[in-house]
Structure 1
């Protein structure tokens, strides 16, 4: 897990081009590895199947050809053994006289000629005739022979041990005279033509080494293949392959396996600790069995070569792909770097920069979105600058307005005391209320005052107006005391009440009316309503009250709405409702702050 975490951390710290390069590189390498592995697997499977099929066919062809060779040799020997001259010669008496000698010479010469003609076959090296009795049994030559004591004990006894066996194929070691002349000997019992149950002698044919050796050598489809030809006694007839690769015990084991396996398919076995494929097939016409043993490594050698070639090809492809992937990654990431540089220049230039064109794909869409954002930020910065300028202008106006109330407040205070000294209470009271009005307007120089201060300011203003217009205006303040300490921007309520008097109540024929101020707190927002029973506001003018620059909107209304939104946000401000000749209500909303 720690290694994976380190890899992820290393990958995340790479730049975009390297991420692209390594991502493409890993994906392509993974595809190549999967493809080469699958190709090697199926190639190995196909090559193995083809190699086993070839070995199987070679085994079958070899056994068929060996069967053909065996049958051909047997036919030649059968023809010789059935020849009348051979039958007469082998049945001749062992009595020695001139007549029998002449007959012997004639018969033996004819027999030798017959056997010599048979010897012209390239497969047969030598043919000899052995008689049990008669004069031939005393001759020991190339064509006629006597049985030695050893031969009587070995091959002759084997040929005689079963009455139903008329012929045998024996290894060369059974004949002392054939060890150097041939590898295999075919033994054929010669029956008495007068009594087929009786045998007069034996005809032997020594087979040339090349007759079978070249054939079984062709069965070796690989250099490591061993080919074994053995008989039903577990004796090796002929062998091709590594010297002494099989022991007699191995031969017996193969013989037992062949005896229990009649299928010609090659099977996989363990031999000497290694995997091998073995195929066993009997030879028709004799008691021989042909076995081939091929190492699995030989079967898979071609597959390994293909795998090595595939690996080399994959490595070459990867090496060739590296510069291509690098160039592709660099080209794809270059637009990202262009956008990055553009962002840096946009920030450093305070977002005063020409739009960037960067295509129509996802990166192009991202660039267009950033261009839009730059335009919006630039507009907001300009708007912020403009608003800042206006705020400074408003602050200047407020400062200027504060100078006049100070002067007026001091002057009114002087008038108040003059009225007291001159016994003019009405003048003194008017000066006192007006002075109180301007004192509350000052608010100790603060821009944020308590709601109680604003309500007192409105009350002082209405008192002054009632002195002027003979109590034509009734002010009702219905505000819970628990809201008195909440903060509000200074001089918010008084201009609205002034508008209600001047543009609402004073426009009535009676020029008198009532103003009601209410307030409530809900979800952290304070809402104040100022309701009058004036003539109302026409619908076409109602929509322009809060529009900046409209000449009919009134300085106080727009200014108040703008000040609230600049201080608290655009979700706060003023909202008007009005019904003609019934009255107008203005709602002021701002956050509840202490």
Structure 2
């Protein structure tokens, strides 16, 4: 009975194998191949469109470089006028007699006329206090009260001295027709009271200068190229009648575009149209080009797609033929093995069946099950080892920070004791004791931000004791941020860099350090800023990479903090340290990490 059951389950005749082969061919070869052909067709089309879009983006990039160069030249002229001593003297001349104001005005008029010789400038206008002589001259000078209620005046005030670029508007001029211009506007501070606005400087740039650059962009006959502002209004267009109107981009598309330097996307409702954009950072404008893709690709794209489909079809059919032949051969071998098993069972019985021979399906299933279990065990072990390695790396990075400051502080106490017999030493030792107590912190790897600030205050007390209280520490921490846990000793290296490499490089060694923190969308964001000498732009990127030598203390400290923040945030791409700096103005170091208010395991 057992022999009969086994023979029946393994019985395959030639016709049955053919039917099964056809069914398997349809389910596992023909249908997947058809899907693969469709996918390949769509993928090829997308690659061709992407390559063409990339080429057109290069054209927009060159146009943006040309525009930025000309706008930067205007910005440089504005900087020169802001720093012109004659203009500062005029703004502060309200108390001077009329003849003295006239002398200053004549000198300043020559400076402005000289700046207007630049081909990119239509006219320079200054809005000043009505009490100044020639404040209503009407060519270069106008009363400030005439523009104090305008939107662009409020926008310029919000920039606090930085340039605000006004979108295109029609400006009337004496002895000439009105002209469409954009303006670089900035406030003029009172020379004696920086917090008071003494005037407004406006440099008018003809819109035609912008149009001459975008008119050189040639993609297709039906293209539309324009410059837009952040509100979506057209700043420049080859059709002047459209200037000032709302562009064709939706608010959502504008928001998405302004979050990127450049890019492209398809026009909703027009699958054959593509919108490309490039940000002009110096003016917060954007070059936008709407291009019909069918005009760009023409017959070449269609022929390329047809050729790709034909080539794919040929290879697919060849692949299918090989698979069919291989399957038929394998099926024949299986069928022959089954016939041998049946013959053995009929002739000698089940006891003589060679279950260990190749082709035993039950042994194969058992082997696969064992293999899956082994892979699972190895994966689990690898994951645990990776966690232990990450924890070890975190502890190793953390252990490298403490000694450097310890040696410097003890050395300072030593020399202070030699130089003077002062009670300051006891205060300094007390601050040092607080510093050690917070840095060691009973061996904990994470501390509250509030506890870390105690360490920073102790550190700054030590530094100010050494340097005659020349550094002011300002702390602006949101209460919610104080309750967040952070890796121990991540703020001290940043403050130390601000002191040693920022403020102490100035003469005199006086300055301010500001620490701010808040919680936004479950992220803790901390900023440490100073008004030191700043960091050159080519140096910033190297500070967050592994230092080339152990003597590069500044690079080591910042890289160490960056790595620890990423480790504690499980290498989230949005976490880490970012540096912004302006030489001669100061540096800001920003930290972003996930906000943690409770610790696992109590």
Q: TM-score range by the shorter chain?
A: 0.3 to 0.5
Q: Which has more radius of gyration?
A: 1
Which TM-score applies when normalising by structure 2?
Answer: 0.39
